Amino acid sequence: MRRRAALGPLALLALLVGCDQPAELRDAANAAAAKVRLTDTLTVTVGGGAVVSTTPASGDAPAQVRIRAQSQDVRVDVVDRGCAPVTVAVTVTHLPTGIEGSWRALLDGLPLETVAARAAGGGVVDFQGDPHDRDRVPLGRERPFTPAEGSAPDVRRFWVTTDRGRQAVAADEAPPVARPALAGACVTPDAPEAGRLGAAPLVARFRLRRPPRSGGFRFAVWGNTAGMTAARDALIASVNAAAVDFAVITGDLTASGRPDDLRAAVAQLDAGLAVPWYATVGDRDVVSQAVGTVVAELGRTTFAFDVGDLRLIVLDSADKALSPDGHTQLRAWLSDGPLWWGGTPAPPVRLVLTHVPPFDPFGTRANGFNQRLEAGRFIAALKRAQVPYLLTSQLAVFETQRQAGVTVVHAGGGGAPMERDAAHHWLQVDVAEGCLAADDPPAADAPCGGCQAGQACTAEGCAPCVTLTKVEFSP
């Protein structure tokens, strides 16, 4: 008699597999937000921000690009490979107040003789064009400009017109007058007028940044609000009273990731916070969230930026793991290489922010990374880079742990119900000026001799480079 075996693994599988979007989808969305193709010949790339929406050109209306700033120093490159003049209207939101703007036109390429000379010189002989784009030829100097104010104080608009035929760029604070195409403007590599780099794409590079200033700076960090709007109002009031320069939200803005809840949270923050704010997602935010909504509302979920002596690295760990791109980017950002402004030395100190900690203090509860090998790898990378703090917000407590020389701060007091009746809180992070690199302490007889790694050399002597203060508030 034959036996039939009916298996019930599918039910078990269905129970085990959640409805969350995989991190790889968000990786793809993050990459797409860094570079968009408006037409076959026109692309816009962003550093320190994310493209959250585009509108194609229609009739006389130019193409529009809306960018959400995710740093204090935003770079926008409009790259034109076409023939006729083309205008792009650029809107950038969540900028700091008092920004200074500049732009420069470049050709995306180098003459062959320059490439050869650079290779032959081995670094001794080099072509000094633009300090941030060594593989591009500048057309003119860096020019200051003031973008027009937009619909809110943190919004700026400007119009970019590129004309590759004339190798000309115009940056306007108002919609420009349309220019006719130059006859025969389309330059192909074999055209007589191609000449040296005549066929190279034309780049209009823009910089919008908070002016460098002396002294340190202060910012706010929190997470785990979980949709508690009243608590968020109280938190916003508390942050505004502390005169911070910007805020970073480390996830769980919503209770269950519904798109409407995320939009409401963003609107509340935009209306209430007096400073720019940047955010990543937490595990609650990805339960039912469409990838497009997340990026459209928050920008990229994994990002980094340099400010003062600090490189802030914000990682998407909403799946209780880092994505493959997240690991690659973390490795690059922990190194001494520049972010999007080539030739700029990396700041001496790194700070890493994410929602889920690698290790839950209560390991059996398993509220850290899903896989311990990945958690170990993460801590190993932070330890080698001598990162002083890892700030997280998964756990509704305030607690610090010392793990392999890294202080892991669990600060999930942004509004969700707390464990053990702990107080709601956010973190005030003060960063001093003159922070010393961890691996390059000054000599004993130097002006800052005696200061240790992780300290700053100030007028008053050695001081902590990064100071964390827990600020409590009542919802």
Partner 1 sequence: MRGLLTLLLLGPGLVGPAAAQPGAPPPTVAEAQADGFQLRPPDQGAGSLLAGGLALGPGLVLHGLGHYYAGDHATAKVLFAAELVSVGLLTGALLANNLGDGRGELGGLSRGLTHAGVVLFAGSWGADVLGAFKGSTALELDSSRVRGNRFGLAYRYTDDPVTDFRHHLVFRLDLNAGWFFLRPLVDLEGSARLRQLQAEIGARPLRGDDPHERLELGVRLRRVENQSHGFSTVGLMGYSGYKVDLGRLVEGLRHLYAFGRVGYGWDGYQFAATPDSVPALFSDTALGDTYLLLETGLGFNLGQRTHLTLSALSDPTKDVPPFAGGTGGLVELGLVHRQSDSLDIEFLGTMGDGFALLLGLGYGL
> Is position 403 an interface residue for partner 1 (rule: CB under 8 A)?
yes
- Per DSSP, the three-state class of 12 is helix
* Stretch of 133-141, 186-194, 302-310, 373-381 contacting partner 1, by CB under 8 A: 373-381
Count of beta carbons in the 10 Å neighbourhood of residue 133: 18
Structure tokens at 254: 């919503």
Q: How far is Cα 172 from Cα 156, in angstroms, rounded to an integer?
A: 12
Map the footprint of partner 1 across residues 329-368, applying CB under 8 A.
Answer: 359-367
The helix/strand/coil state of 325 is helix
Does residue number 440 form part of the binding site for partner 1 (CB under 8 A)?
no
> Rounded to whole angstroms, how far apart are CA atoms 327 and 302?
10
Q: How far is CA 32 from the centre of its chain?
A: 14
Structure tokens at 206: 């823009």
Report the site for partner 1 in 19-38 (rule: CB under 8 A). 19-20, 22-24
Terminal Cα-to-Cα distance of the chain (whole angstroms): 69
- Least distance (Å) between residue 421 CB and partner 1: 8
Q: How far is the CB of 317 from partner 1 (least distance, A)?
A: 11
Name the residue nearer to partner 1 (CB basis): 193 or 439: 439
> C-beta of 401: minimal distance to partner 1 in Å?
8
> In this chain, which stretch among 247-255, 341-349, 393-401, 443-451 interacts with partner 1, using CB under 8 A?
393-401
Q: Do you know the residue count of the chain?
A: 475
Q: Is 404 in the site for partner 1 (CB under 8 A)?
A: yes
Listed ranges 118-126, 136-144, 248-256, 377-385: which one lies at the site for partner 1 (CB under 8 A): 377-385
CB of residue 339 to partner 1, shortest distance in Å: 22
SS3 state at 117: helix
Please provide residue 332's backbone torsions phi and psi, each rounded to the nearest 5 degrees: -70, -45
- Which two structure tokens, joined as six digits, stand for 27? 């990786």
Of 16-24, 46-54, 96-104, 295-303, the segment contacting partner 1 by CB under 8 A is: 16-24
Among 120, 124, 174, 373, binds partner 1 (CB under 8 A): 373
Residue 99 tokens read as: 């920004």
Q: How far apart are CA 348 and CA 336, in angstroms?
A: 8
* Binding positions for partner 1, rule: CB under 8 A: 1, 3-9, 11-13, 15-20, 22-24, 319-324, 327, 359-367, 369-377, 379-381, 383-384, 395-396, 401, 403-405, 417-420
